[in-house]
Amino acid sequence: MSKYSMHLLVCGGTGCHASESDAIVCNLRDELEAKGLVDSVQVILTGCFGFCEKGPIVKVMPDNTFYVQVKPEDAQEIVDEHVIKGRKVTRLLYKDPVSKESISDSKHMGFFKKQLRIVLRNCGFINPENIDEYIARDGYQALGKVLSEMSPEEVIKVIKDSGQRGRGGGGFSTGLKWELARKSVSDEKYVVCNADEGDPGAFMDRSVLEGDPHSVLEAMAICGYSIGASSGLIYIRAEYPLAIERLKIAINQAREYGLLGNSIFGTGFNFDITLRYGAGAFVCGEETALIHSMEGLRGEPTVKPPFPAESGYRNKPTNVNNVETFAAIPAIILKGSKWFSSIGTEKSKGTKVFALAGKINNVGLIEVPMGTTLREVIFEIGGGIRGGKKFKGVQTGGPSGGCLTEKHLDTPIDFDNLIAAGSMMGSGAMIVLDEDDCMVSMAKFFLEFTVEESCGKCAPCRIGNKRLHELLGQITEGKGTLEDLDRLKNMSLVIKDTSLCGLGQTSPNPVLSMLENFREEYVAHVTSKKCPAGQCKSLMEYVINAENCVGCTACARVCPVNAITGERKEAHLINAATCIKCGACMEKCKFDAIFIR
């Protein structure tokens, strides 16, 4: 049995792998072999450290030394100096970009401090199907504290002072919303958890419900106590069977312990929670539509006011909050408003969960303090762009948000900064785009979603978005004009101004932001009929480079429409008029003579 005294962890993530981490592993192993150390020092290939910008990474355990930008030829020095003599190789240490000091211990690196889990504090930590594990992690302590030691007004004050804003998209002050619901006078009130999560690319709500359902139940009860409600409803889409299952288990366990039901903690406060299933329409996430859907009516939005806080479910005062908003509440109660408001930016407090998707190395779920920059999220935590491609843009806020570019990378992410940059926070889905993504096609793709999901109640959204989508389609086919670009913009502005609900009011955002930030790409499509990203099929042209072509005829033989002509052993030619752009010839050519223009 071998027991190693030292571990050399070498990053084998995509980024570092591309920059020779394999060779580093080999050299380290060879060096150790030569020095007779293979039995006491082990070299291990790991997953991405998320620090690809400074890769390849080598981390030495147990002293947590973090070497960056290691080259294969550094292996000898690491072994001679660090492993044998116990001296750190200073030139390979990470230098703090601000203080310029070398940092030898990874625990002190800014990067590892960048994620902070409040909402996800228990996700991946406890068994969500076992209430005891939640209790062991301080679960239901906040509810106990609220019921035994605080008045509803005090609870609302803590939430207000914490500066928390709703995570469902709008960013409205949670404490203020609770206060409005508390002030409405009624014999009956409701607490609703919005777990509809219709935003494509978003899965943070699902993850919280699957990983830590009790945190949401506990928060809903706290909210019920604060506003004077005894019923809670969770509106969840039927497409989330696992989250539903876990919620059911959690509700039953909480009832068995008396943490839901009558006279909770013996205080006379009653609160219980039931589930309502949604059919999975995006618009049903909008709070008025959601309420209608729960009442058994069509899930269509209605004009606000009246706001749900005055007249919501069954015309009673109703407080609607998002899953993530609720999940942070117990932490705020236990740790206090000062603690929460010390995290984040001036007007956006706390942390935000983001679902990273698209052309990024570390697709997944992260939670960072508000004010973290897009660059930190994409390049440090997200591990940078997949396949070493160039970053082009990031769509934040899902299909109703906007696409930000290189010049926005150092923007601290918060509600107001994203809006100022022409996008929005939305639910927190981030879709990263690289050089191969065409911005006209992307806008068209997002519009497709809107057209499909529009409830059809009002004309600007129903008809306007359809027209927008058609226009974008024409542009991708090379049938657009410069005037069409103006038309796109005007139509977008009208749809935004005249739609009834948030869906229509935000749907043209991707078009507007892409027109603004990537105008040259749109212009290329309509004037020179070129797609700079090489995605739009109609705008591609297959051409043969006569210099490389040896006249093997392979291409001509596979062309389904006989678009290729040429004599044996002589350069061939593609007839652009007949070519249907199937790409078969390019695949066949062994001489790299065919390319796309």
Partner 1 sequence: MSKITSLADLKKKREELKSGLDIRVKAIDPESVVQVKVAMATCGIASGAKTVMEFFLEQLERRNIPAVVTQTGCMGYCYAEPTIEVKLPGEEPVVFGFVDLKRADQIIEKYIKTGELVDGIIPVNYQSIDFKE
Ligand X SMILES: Cc1cc2nc3c(=O)[nH]c(=O)nc-3n(C[C@H](O)[C@H](O)[C@H](O)COP(=O)(O)O)c2cc1C
- Residues 293-332 close enough to bind ligand X by CB under 6 A: 320-322, 325
Tokens (6 digits) for 244 = 């539903």
Binding window for ligand FES (CB under 6 A); candidates: 44-52, 139-147, 192-200, 218-226: 44-52
Residue 14 touches which of ligand X, ligand SF4, ligand FES, none (Cβ within 5-8 Å per kind): ligand FES
Number of neighbouring beta carbons within 10 Å of residue 492: 22
Binding window for ligand SF4 (CB under 6 A); candidates: 158-166, 200-208, 332-340, 588-596: 588-596
Residue 140 touches which of partner 1, ligand FES, ligand X, none (Cβ within 5-8 Å per kind): partner 1
Among 50, 166, 358, 510, binds ligand X (CB under 6 A): 166
Residue 168 touches which of ligand FES, ligand X, partner 1, none (Cβ within 5-8 Å per kind): ligand X
Among 480, 525, 585, 594, binds ligand FES (CB under 6 A): 525
- Residues 534-553 as x/- pattern, contact with ligand FES by CB under 6 A: -xx-----------------
Among 28, 142, 440, 458, binds ligand SF4 (CB under 6 A): 458
Dist CA 475 CA 515 (whole Å): 13
Residue 52 touches which of ligand FES, ligand SF4, partner 1, none (Cβ within 5-8 Å per kind): ligand FES
Residue 455 touches which of partner 1, ligand SF4, ligand X, none (Cβ within 5-8 Å per kind): ligand SF4
Q: Smallest distance, Å, CB 522 to ligand FES?
A: 9
Q: Which residues from 19-48 bind ligand X, rule CB under 6 A?
A: none
> Are the C-beta atoms of 545 and 515 separated by less than 8 Å?
no
Kindly tell me the sign of the dihedral angle through the C-alpha atoms of 179, 180, 185, 190. negative
Strands 573-574, 594-596: pairing kind: unpaired
H helical segments located in 257-370? 287-294, 323-335, 337-341
Residues with Cβ within 8 Å of residue 421, at least 6 apart in sequence: 402, 404, 408, 411
> Are the C-beta atoms of 69 and 112 separated by less than 8 Å?
no
Binding window for ligand FES (CB under 6 A); candidates: 10-18, 162-170, 286-294, 324-332: 10-18
- Using CB under 6 A as the binding rule, whether residue 14 contacts ligand FES is answered as yes
Provide Rg for the chain, Cα atoms: 28
Binding window for ligand FES (CB under 6 A); candidates: 60-68, 118-126, 435-443, 509-517: 435-443
Q: What is the 3-state secondary structure (H, E, C) of 195-211?
A: ECCCCCCCCHHHHHHHH
Q: Which residues from 523-582 bind ligand SF4, rule CB under 6 A?
A: 542, 544, 549-555, 558-559, 561, 563-564, 572, 574, 579-582
Tokens (6 digits) for 42 = 């082990």
Give the count of alpha carbons within 13 A of 120, CB side only: 20
Counting beta carbons within 10 angstroms of the beta carbon of residue 191, is it exposed (0 to 12), middle (13 to 18) or buried (19 or more)?
buried
Q: Smallest distance, Å, CB 194 to ligand X?
A: 4
Tokens (6 digits) for 185 = 């006078």
Question: 321 - beta bridge partners?
Answer: 193
Residue 220 touches which of ligand X, ligand FES, partner 1, none (Cβ within 5-8 Å per kind): none
- Using CB under 6 A as the binding rule, whether residue 446 contacts ligand SF4 is answered as no
Among 145, 462, 479, 487, binds ligand SF4 (CB under 6 A): 462
468-473 CB contacts, 8 Å cutoff, 24+ apart:
468/492, 468/495, 468/508, 468/511, 469/444, 472/440, 472/443, 472/444, 472/447, 472/511, 473/444
Check residue 295 and report its DSSP letter: T
Among 441, 465, 492, 507, binds ligand FES (CB under 6 A): 441
- For the CA atoms of 205, 211, 217, 222, the dihedral, rounded to the nearest 10 degrees, stands at -80
- Using CB under 6 A as the binding rule, whether residue 380 contacts ligand X is answered as no
Dist CA 418 CA 371 (whole Å): 11
Q: How far apart are the first and last CA of the chain?
A: 61
Q: Which residue, 253 or 372, is less far from ligand FES as judged by CB?
A: 372
Dist CA 579 CA 582 (whole Å): 8
Q: Smallest distance, Å, CB 327 to partner 1?
A: 12
- Residues 277-306 as x/- pattern, contact with ligand SF4 by CB under 6 A: ------x-----------------x-----
Backbone phi and psi for residue 288, each to the nearest 5 degrees, phi listed first: -70, -40
Binding window for ligand X (CB under 6 A); candidates: 391-399, 457-465, 499-507, 512-520: 499-507
Q: Which residue, 105 or 435, is less far from ligand FES as judged by CB?
A: 435
> Are the C-beta atoms of 373 and 421 separated by less than 8 Å?
no
- Using CB under 6 A as the binding rule, whether residue 399 contacts ligand X is answered as no
Dist CA 189 CA 317 (whole Å): 5
Q: Which residue, 170 or 261, is less far from ligand SF4 as judged by CB?
A: 170
Q: Which residues bind ligand FES (CB under 6 A)?
A: 11, 13-16, 48-52, 55, 57, 383, 438, 440-441, 476, 525, 531, 533, 535-536
Q: Which residues bind ligand SF4 (CB under 6 A)?
A: 283, 301, 454-458, 461-462, 499-501, 503-504, 542, 544, 549-555, 558-559, 561, 563-564, 572, 574, 579-585, 588-589, 591, 593-594
Q: Which residues bind ligand X (CB under 6 A)?
A: 166-170, 172, 177, 194, 196-198, 282-283, 285-287, 320-322, 325, 501-503
